[in-house]
Amino acid sequence: MSDFILHHYSMSPFSEKIRLMLGYAGIDWLSVRVREMPPRPLLEPLAGKYRKIPVAQIGADVFCDTRAISSEIARLSGKPELALENCSEEIQQFVRRTDLEVFLACIMSAPGGTLLRKMWKASSLWNVGRFLVDRISMGRKATVKAAGPAKAKQIVRSHLENMEQLLASSPFLFGDAPTIADFSAWHSLWFIRDLGESRYVDRFANVSAWMERMAAFGHGRSTEVSAEYALDAALSAEPRPLPESVDNVASGQAISICPDDYGQTPVSGKLLAGTAHGWVLGREHPRVGKVHVHFPKQGFVISGA
């Protein structure tokens, strides 16, 4: 059985980015379903108070944020172009903008009614109500504000126009094979078109053809497992050896680390390593023993160091 575990939920666009990347990379994976909002008590022993989804796990190593997860997929699959740090500055800039400004604009412009109806069907009206309250509160506390509806539409349109142009000369955004940029662009448009059932993307012929090419990668081979299974997998494994630090980190110093945009709940632990692109935090919990939690540096702030 595979040892790559993804903690995710079906309607989560960033989870979709990773599900499709796993399909493309040909990595078999184990699927742990989580709720659409906290509390997530069975994820907490692994990732502490980190509140975003998805989270990936290999034994006692836990990966927060799709930037850290993609780097792991790039390493496992031998496809370096799936890791942000291996890509050109042009691709990195595209991904930064697409995963934040464009993502928020797509959320604002997706047909909300269809999405909420789907959630209601899959769970309950009570769940939908709690979801709305949770997301409004998260939005209020965010340091990055989503554009209003009119501006959001404009952002989505100009993003699609740009993609349409890029895809006029190559089958994928930056060449003959997908890079991390394609998966970043995929998930927000998947949210609008496939989940929200909007036909807006159909107006862009190159983008629509690219979406079919991307969709054909599928989600690969996954097996549903319980959250308890994932906790046992961490308990029965040792974290892997630490990467070499490039930062002058006082190893073992108590710190907390937190996203700098939204969902800013800090994760506390001991700083064990700081590489060129990431941090490794050591945490302990009676249910899982010692775990190493990996974060990207981009998009996160640490305090206490």
Ligand X SMILES: N[C@@H](CCC(=O)N[C@@H](CS)C(=O)NCC(=O)O)C(=O)O
Nearer to ligand X (CB atom), residue 72 or residue 99:
99
Structure tokens at 50: 């980190």
In the complex, least distance from residue 12 CB atom to ligand X, rounded to whole angstroms = 4
Q: Which stretch binds ligand X (CB under 6 A): 60-68, 199-207, 230-238, 277-285?
A: 60-68
Cα distances (Å, whole numbers) of residue 134 to 37, 39, 98, 181:
7, 11, 23, 29
Residues 209-228 that bind ligand X (CB under 6 A): none
Closest contact distance (angstroms) between CB of 55 and ligand X is 8
Pairing of strands 267-274, 278-285: antiparallel
Q: What would the 3-class secondary structure string for the chain be?
A: CCCEEEEECCCCHHHHHHHHHHHHHCCCEEEEECCCCCCCCCCHHHHCCCCCCCEEEECCEEEECHHHHHHHHHHHHCCHHHCHHHCCHHHHHHHHHHHHHHHHHHHHHCCHHHHHHHHHHHCCHHHHHHHHHHHHHHHHHCCCCCCCHHHHHHHHHHHHHHHHHHCCCCCECCECCCCHHHHHHHHHHHHHHHHCCCCHHHHCHHHHHHHHHHHCCCCCCEEECCHHHHHHHHHCCCCCCCCCCCCCCCCCEEEEEEECCCCCCCEEEEEEEECCCEEEEEEEECCCEEEEEEEECCCEEEECC
User: Is residue 12 a contact residue for ligand X (CB under 6 A)?
Assistant: yes
Exactly one of 5, 13, 50, 119 binds ligand X (CB under 6 A); that residue is 13
> Measured from the CB of residue 134, what is the shortest distance to ligand X in angstroms?
7
Least distance from ligand X to the Cβ atom of residue 236, Å:
27
CB of 300 to ligand X, least distance (A): 9
Residue 80 CB, nearest distance to ligand X (Å)?
A: 19
Output 52 or 292, the one with its CB closest to ligand X. Answer: 52
Contact 6, 225 (CB under 8 A): no
What are the tokens at 117?
A: 């109806």
Task: Count CA atoms closer than 13 A to 68's CA, side-chain side.
Answer: 29
Determine if 51 is a binding residue for ligand X (CB under 6 A): yes
* 118 neighbors 110 (Cβ within 8 angstroms): no
Site for ligand X in 227-286 (CB under 6 A): 263
Q: Least Å distance between CB 133 and ligand X?
A: 12
Find the shortest distance in angstroms from Cβ 155 to ligand X: 17
Which residue lies nearer to ligand X by CB, 67 or 159? 67
Does position 14 interact with ligand X (CB under 6 A)? The reply is yes
Asked if 181 touches ligand X (CB under 6 A), the answer is no
Is 65 one of the binding residues for ligand X (CB under 6 A)? yes
Binder to ligand X among 6, 22, 53, 207 (CB under 6 A)? 53
Q: Is there binding between residue 52 and ligand X (CB under 6 A)?
A: yes
Which range binds ligand X by CB under 6 A, 10-18, 118-126, 193-201, 245-253?
10-18
Among positions 94-113, residues that touch ligand X (CB under 6 A) are 99
Count, residues near ligand X per rule CB under 6 A: 14
CB-nearer residue toward ligand X: 49 or 157 = 49
Binding to ligand X by residue 31, rule CB under 6 A?
Answer: no
Where along the sequence are the contacts to ligand X (CB under 6 A)? 12-14, 36-37, 51-53, 65-67, 99, 263, 299
